[in-house]
Amino acid sequence: MNRTLERWIIILLPILLWLGYTMEETLRDYISYVPYLFMFLTFVSSMNVTKDQFMEVWRRPLPMITLLLMFHIVLPVLTFKLLTMFYEGSGEFQLGILLAMIMPIGVTSIVWVSLSKGNVGIAISMVTIDALLSPLLIPFTLISLLGESVRMDTIPLIWGVVRLVVIPCLVGIAVGAAIRKLKSRQKIRVVMSLSSKVTLYIIVMLNAAAMASSMGGFTKEIVSLIMAVAGLIVLGYIGSWVTMAWMRLVTSSEIAFTYSGGIRNYTAGMVIAQLYFSPKVAVPIMLAVLVQHPIALFVHTVMKKRTSP
């Protein structure tokens, strides 16, 4: 079941989005559980982090530092400029797209790096480091780019990121270290891996239900929103790959850093958008969830051809 849920994730996620959207009335009472489900997902994903894996990127820190600067400074600024120049949607949609682009690296990048035969240690380290930095980077980026044009309570937002991402991440690392000493650790890992996938699917469906009530008034803008978020996701991949290729890293490291630049934690973005902004802000992030894995599959196909003998 664990392998099946992983293999068919690209098909299952759109189906669950549709089910959540059509079952709004049935699922409405359970939407409030999403933040707690996401905290559990982050906790489980962090359990596999080891000391050696965490230190992997510090043996050669320049690629990590370069990539963090690129998608927390260069890419958000470029995104903001492109939205101002070419996208004439509502301010809430533009805020949602920008928020999607500044989310920390998604934990699913670890899965894609593994499937593409990349350096999993680097992927795990990048996810953990970016999660720890996100409480400062997300509010700082929004305030720097939007200033007074967006009303935002900074302290609650920082605490929200700490509660949703940082605390579960640290607890997961600690529990994972304890589990590795147990004889039954492999069984526990399989169970937790399966539970994390089920949790992800439930979160996606509940978020779709949460958005259903506010989606009817702007169905004509869905296509342009999908094109905008998909284009920016691809831009993140291209920027990461070009930068890492310029640094002449070994292929496995290049793959890990490329996925780190392309996959974002959009689940956290949806939760943050719903807790601290208007419902419309979460719409572009929801659409980013829909297109993220098909784009990752395309990147996987390209990487597979490059690594094949």
Confidence tier at 306 by pLDDT (50, 70, 90): low
Say what percent of the chain tops pLDDT 90. 2
Model confidence over 92-143: pLDDT tens digits?
Answer: 788 888 888 888 888 778 778 877 878 877 887 888 788 788 878 888 888 7
- Model pTM? 0.75
pLDDT > 60? residue 233: yes
Residues 6+ apart with CB under 8 A from 109: 123, 126, 127, 259, 260, 262, 263
Can you give the three-state secondary structure of 254-267, one letter per residue?
A: HHHHHHHHHCECHH
- The pLDDT value recorded for residue 203 is 79
Report CA-CA distances (Å) from 290 to 17, 108, 147, 248: 8, 14, 30, 32
Q: What are phi and psi of 257, to 5 degrees?
A: -70, -30
Instruction: Return the pLDDT at 218.
Output: 56
DSSP 123-135: HHHHHHHHHHHHH
Q: Structure tokens of 33?
A: 């559980």
User: What pLDDT was estimated at residue 88?
Assistant: 64
Is there a contact between 127 and 109 (Cβ–Cβ < 8 Å)?
yes
Q: Is the pLDDT of residue 287 over 80?
A: yes
Among 197, 159, 148, 161, which residue's Cα sits nearest to residue 44? Answer: 197
* pLDDT above 70 (res 243): yes
pLDDT in tens, 188-200: 877 877 887 788 7
Q: Tokens for 135, please give them.
A: 């409480």
Q: How confident is the model at residue 179 (pLDDT cuts 50, 70, 90)?
A: confident
Model confidence band, residue 249 (pLDDT cutoffs 50, 70, 90): confident
pLDDT for residue 89 = 59
SS3 of residue 105 by DSSP? strand
Calculate the average pLDDT of the chain. 79
pLDDT tens readout for residues 63-95: 888 888 888 888 888 888 888 777 665 677 888
pLDDT of the residue at 153: 62
Note the pLDDT of residue 217.
56
- Residues 138, 228, 19, 208, CA torsion sign: positive
Answer yes or no: is pLDDT of 275 > 80. Answer: no
CA angle 293, 6, 55 (to 5 degrees): 80
